[in-house]
Amino acid sequence: MKQTIVKNPRIGEQYYEIEHDSGLKVLCYPMERFQSAYALFGTRYGSIDRIFRDDPVKGFKTVPDGIAHYLEHKLFESEEGDAFGLFAKYGASANAFTSFDRTAYLFSCTEHFGDCLRALLNFVQSPYFTEENVEKERGIIGQEIRMYDDDPSWQVFFRLLGALYHTHPVKIDIAGTVDSIAKITPELLYDCYRSFYSLDQMALAIAGRFSVEEALSIVDELCLPKPPHFLEREVVKEPSSIVSAYASRSLDVALPLFQIGWKEPPCEGVDGLKAETEIMLLLSCMFGEGSKFYNDLRDDGLITAGLDLDAMWGRGYFLSMVGGESKDPKEVARRVAAQIARQKETGVEEADFQRVRRLLYGRAVLSFSRVSDVANSLLTSSFCDTGLFDRLEIIAAVTREDLIRRLKTSFLPERMALSAIYPKGKS
Amino acid sequence: MSQKPEFVPITSSVSFYALQDDKFKSNRISIHFVLPLREETVSAYALVPMILSKGYRECPDFLSLSRKLESLYGGWIDAAIKKYGDLQILTLSAGGMDNTFALTGEDITGELCDMLCNAVFDPVLDENGYFPETTFRLEQQNLLDAIASMINDKRFYSVHRTVQEMYRGNAVGLNEYGTEEAVRALTPEKVTEAYRRMLAEAKVMIQFCGCGAPAPVREKMAARFADFRQAGSVAAAPLPDIDGREAQRITERLEVAQSKLVLGLRITPDYREKHTALRLMTMILGGTPSSLLFKQVREKQSLCYYCAARYYPSLGMITIDSGVEHEKAARAEAAILEQLSNMQKGRFTDREFEEARLAAINSYRTLGDALSSIDEYYWGRIMEGEIRTPEDMIALLSGVTRDDVIEAANQVTVDTVFLLTGQEGSK
């Protein structure tokens, strides 16, 4: 077992990073003045992991879309009943989520931390799938899919992904479709479980009020070293071009919703975090509430509420986004494109740079205020192969020249797409 | 454990509540103006904080305001419009990172406090003393969009419609923003007049919460609010008596993939103050994944993805809501009613009772871990008129018996069944 203490003098905080003998990465961030502890046990397995092989001499296999999410639901059920009950008896709350590239199981408690951690480590390592319990879940997940079918924000986002990506599975809905989940069987779930839930693929992130010693002794007890497990994910061949510059659909919404996105070159690790930070600074500079662009859009009645600025990345994908509600998404997109062209000409002014850097620095400091945020960031940074304090340090060290350089290679006009959801009858 | 907020009266109608906890990294200051919720004034009042939060004389437009806030490490000024029984609450708040973390020694909290006071007392007015036409138009549209966009979130919309139908014809049932027609009929003159009336008639509550020192904020507030001496008191009137009527059934049709079923339950008027028993009863019925509704309607019968109960003390009601397939709505309703009947007959186990109590205790203990939740929690207690700490609430919960819960369940009656469903013949 190798233990490192990662410190940040800037905000005076620290955490423990442990390479456990089982292959599991354990991250502990004690926050003693807080009442609760929050733990996430996660694996690098999400909706994009649909083609893989677990034997070097066999071919790749494709599993049904939505299976990582289905597996997440089913792991919550053990032979004794559902896992929620294990936590309920300690008054703790439990949950789980599946994203593009990870699945995580979590609990939050104020008492019985050790019992809760034991329950978490146990149930995630005890799959129990039967014909009957897998069948029962189909109706529940079917309704979850239907719920998202009616969610305009979800729909506008996935239409954008479909417009940007040709083959990358990031464009496929995380829960799959009613048809794809119909093909999921207990055998397939066991197959995926064996491939993606080996401890060397996983991490345990804990923040809040708890004893690091106690946590590690429970990990020693319940996470046992196993022979290495072969896993190879298919590398997706995704061209740099986009599929279409425009995608739309109609739903029962009041105002059109839009999301404008740019397909950026994929990059990972600290490079990915640096790219994300610089892109967020540029987005804030060009389209944030302190930009002239935003205020012109507002004064001209094209937007009333704020714009959502975001950057998202993972294995083989990276995109920058501007979203919101507007009576005329196409006009907003036209102006956004023009603003980018202008900004590429003029570069970034020092005053704007200093302002948006402070904005992001403030946000980064405040991201260490909540137990749940810290635990989630720990897991994210572990799966992105970055350190928890890296973002803060990147913001502190970034220069105007870095932004100008990034501006040249990002936000390319030929890689921009607009996704819009229009009210019924107005598409 | 969290301490009680310090209460300091500034004048007979202005109170200041401060909660300092140095584990946080930020501060927030809220000024609440409490006014009667009336059909004829609700929309004009709603527009007031929206206009005030967008600039003041020294920072006359949204661009200069936003730039100043971004430079203060992403500080914010926000407007919120809420209701509490038959009261309308207009809130202007500001918050941001604490001075300790500033890169160049700025007094972030002091600046934000001044900005907030300037927004309240020193708005931009035109030569006739009214809000400028352009600002008014923008915020009027913003409010219209906010009202129209309620339909985007079908779950929220359906619960909102249920409340409205339960208290139709009464102030309690009014939307805190008012109606589209009322907002369209506003003018800068009418809204400026509402602003002056707010200053003249509202009861004011100021909350400070964070790691910074409250004294400098209190001094600034005491100086700015020194002349506030409104006569009389503003307190919520008893909720209207809707007892004894037949359950009403309302169906609305939209092109949705999933139906939303909401049961609005009224509480016997004499029993409405028994908050603790009602809260615990709601938790056992549908407040956690160990609740009767979750276990029976979702897990056993696979009818839905969510089925939850929520207690609204200020509205004297409970809602049960679920997202279901169109053709299974009637089955889901029957399954929900069966669980309600089980609660009333005491058909729940000691374990279900204890687990709900532990979950409630856990959530009270966790409140103090997030600035926004502890702030929101004490806001609720201030409105109730008794400042109980989370520990006081836990003590009350500990005194609730099974019989109290059964009694609480027998004091609720289905009043309104609201169904948002697809167009006739749709799947």
Statement to judge: residues B202 and B287 lie in one domain: no
Statement to judge: residues B286 and B155 lie in one domain: no
d(C-alpha B247, C-alpha A215), whole Å: 53
The answer to whether residue B401 neighbours chain A at the CB level (below 8 Å) is no
Residue B51: which pLDDT band, with cuts at 50, 70 and 90? very high
The answer to whether residue B50 neighbours chain A at the CB level (below 8 Å) is no
Which of A133-147, B116-130, B186-200 shows the lowest per-residue confidence on average (mean pLDDT)? Answer: A133-147
CATH number at residue B88: 3.30.830.10
CATH topology of domain A246-423: Cytochrome Bc1 Complex; Chain A, domain 1 (3.30.830)
List phi, psi (to 5°) of A375: -65, -45
pLDDT of residue B243: 81
Q: What is the pLDDT of residues A378-416, one digit of tens each?
A: 999 999 999 999 999 999 999 999 999 999 999 999 999
Statement to judge: residues B212 and B338 lie in one domain: no
The answer to whether residue A154 neighbours chain B at the CB level (below 8 Å) is no
Statement to judge: residues B31 and B109 lie in one domain: yes
Provide the chain A residues 156-195 that lie in CB contact (below 8 A) with chain B. Answer: none
Provide the chain B residues 145-184 that lie in CB contact (below 8 A) with chain A. Answer: 145-146, 148-155
Q: Is B241 within the bounds of a domain?
A: no
Statement to judge: residues B257 and B357 lie in one domain: yes
Statement to judge: residues B173 and B36 lie in one domain: yes
Tell whether the model's pLDDT for residue B427 goes beyond 50: no
List phi, psi (to 5°) of B59: -130, 70
Residue A421 token pair: 């959801």
pLDDT of residue B233: 64
Q: Are B29 and B112 in contact (CB under 8 A)?
A: yes
Residue A427: which pLDDT band, with cuts at 50, 70 and 90? very low
Say whether B362 and A147 touch across the interface (CB within 8 A): no
Q: Is B170 within the bounds of a domain?
A: yes
Residue B2: which pLDDT band, with cuts at 50, 70 and 90? low
**Most B CBs within 10 Å, among A154, A252, A357, to test the B interface:** A252
Say whether A292 and B63 touch across the interface (CB within 8 A): yes
Statement to judge: residues B182 and B214 lie in one domain: yes
Which of A113-122, A150-159, B374-383 shows the lowest per-residue confidence on average (mean pLDDT)? Answer: B374-383
Tell whether the model's pLDDT for residue A232 goes beyond 50: yes
B305 vs A147, A368, A369: nearest CB: A147
| Structural domains in chain B (count) | 2
Q: What is the pLDDT of residues B108-151, one digit of tens each?
A: 999 999 999 999 999 999 999 999 999 999 999 999 999 998 99
Q: Give the gap in angstroms from C-alpha A6 to the nearest C-alpha of chain B.
A: 19
- All residues of chain A having their beta carbon less than 8 Å from the beta carbon of residue B69 are 289-290
Provide the chain B residues 324-363 that lie in CB contact (below 8 A) with chain A. Answer: 324-325, 351, 354-355, 357-359, 361-363
Percent of residues, chain B, with pLDDT higher than 90:
83
Cβ neighbour number for residue A196 with a 10 Å cutoff: 22
Chosen domain end from B167, B191, B224: B224
Tell whether the model's pLDDT for residue B96 goes beyond 50: yes
The answer to whether residue B20 neighbours chain A at the CB level (below 8 Å) is no
Statement to judge: residues B18 and B165 lie in one domain: yes
Say whether B302 and A289 touch across the interface (CB within 8 A): no
Q: Are A427 and A250 in contact (CB under 8 A)?
A: yes
Give the CA distances from residue B62 to residues A31, B185, B189, in Å, rounded to whole numbers and listed in that order.
Answer: 38, 25, 21
Statement to judge: residues B213 and B287 lie in one domain: no
Q: Are A340 and A286 in contact (CB under 8 A)?
A: yes
pLDDT of residue A426: 52
Q: Same fold for the domain at A2-233 and the one at A246-423?
A: yes
d(C-alpha A184, C-alpha A330), whole Å: 40
pLDDT of residue B198: 95
Chosen domain end from B192, B224, B256: B224
Tell whether the model's pLDDT for residue A304 goes beyond 90: no
d(C-alpha B89, C-alpha A288), whole Å: 29
Tell whether the model's pLDDT for residue B426 goes beyond 60: no
Return the exposure string of A224-236: e unless at least 16 CB atoms fall within 10 Å of the residue's CB, then b: eeeeeeebebeeb
Query: Residue B408, class by beta-carbon neighbours within 10 Å (0-12 exposed, 13-18 middle, 19+ buried)?
Result: buried
Expressed as residue numbers, the domain containing B362 is 248-421
A150 vs B142, B257, B325: nearest CB: B257
pLDDT of residue A395: 97
Longest dimension (CA), chain A: 65
Provide the chain A residues 340-399 that lie in CB contact (below 8 A) with chain B. Answer: 354-356, 358-363, 365-366, 368-371
Residue A22: which pLDDT band, with cuts at 50, 70 and 90? very high
pLDDT of residue B1: 45
Tell me what the mean pLDDT of segment B305-329 comes to. Answer: 94
- All residues of chain A having their beta carbon less than 8 Å from the beta carbon of residue B146 are 305
List chain A domain ranges. 2-233, 246-423
Tell me what the mean pLDDT of segment A5-16 comes to. Answer: 95
Tell me what the mean pLDDT of segment B267-292 comes to. Answer: 94
Reduce the DSSP state of residue A291 to 3 states and report it. coil
- All residues of chain A having their beta carbon less than 8 Å from the beta carbon of residue B365 are 35-36, 110
Which of A226-230, A334-338, B397-401 shows the lowest per-residue confidence on average (mean pLDDT)? Answer: A226-230
Give the single-character DSSP code of A200.
G
CATH topology of domain A2-233: Cytochrome Bc1 Complex; Chain A, domain 1 (3.30.830)
Size of chain B, expressed as the number of residues it contains: 427
Q: Are B412 and B242 in contact (CB under 8 A)?
A: no
Q: Is B427 within the bounds of a domain?
A: no
pLDDT of residue A78: 79
Tell whether the model's pLDDT for residue A187 goes beyond 90: yes
d(C-alpha A289, C-alpha B325), whole Å: 41
- Bridge-based pairing of strands A13-19 and A25-30 is antiparallel
Give the ipTM of the model, two decimals please. Answer: 0.92
Statement to judge: residues B202 and B284 lie in one domain: no
Residue A274: which pLDDT band, with cuts at 50, 70 and 90? very high
Q: Is B209 within the bounds of a domain?
A: yes
B257 vs A137, A146, A153: nearest CB: A146
Q: Is B231 within the bounds of a domain?
A: no
Return the exposure string of A155-177: e unless at least 16 CB atoms fall within 10 Å of the residue's CB, then b: bbbbbbbbbbbeebbbbbbbbbe
Return the exposure string of A339-367: e unless at least 16 CB atoms fall within 10 Å of the residue's CB, then b: bbeebeeeebeeebbebbbbbbbbbbbbb
Tell whether the model's pLDDT for residue B367 goes beyond 80: yes
d(C-alpha A412, C-alpha A422), whole Å: 26
Q: Is B235 within the bounds of a domain?
A: no
Statement to judge: residues B60 and B92 lie in one domain: yes
Say whether A424 and B255 touch across the interface (CB within 8 A): yes
Provide the chain A residues 41-80 that lie in CB contact (below 8 A) with chain B. Answer: none
- All residues of chain A having their beta carbon less than 8 Å from the beta carbon of residue B78 are none
Tell me what the mean pLDDT of segment B148-165 comes to. Answer: 93
Q: Is B239 within the bounds of a domain?
A: no
How many A/B residue pairs have CB atoms within 8 Å?
A: 192
Q: Is B291 within the bounds of a domain?
A: yes
Statement to judge: residues B30 and B175 lie in one domain: yes
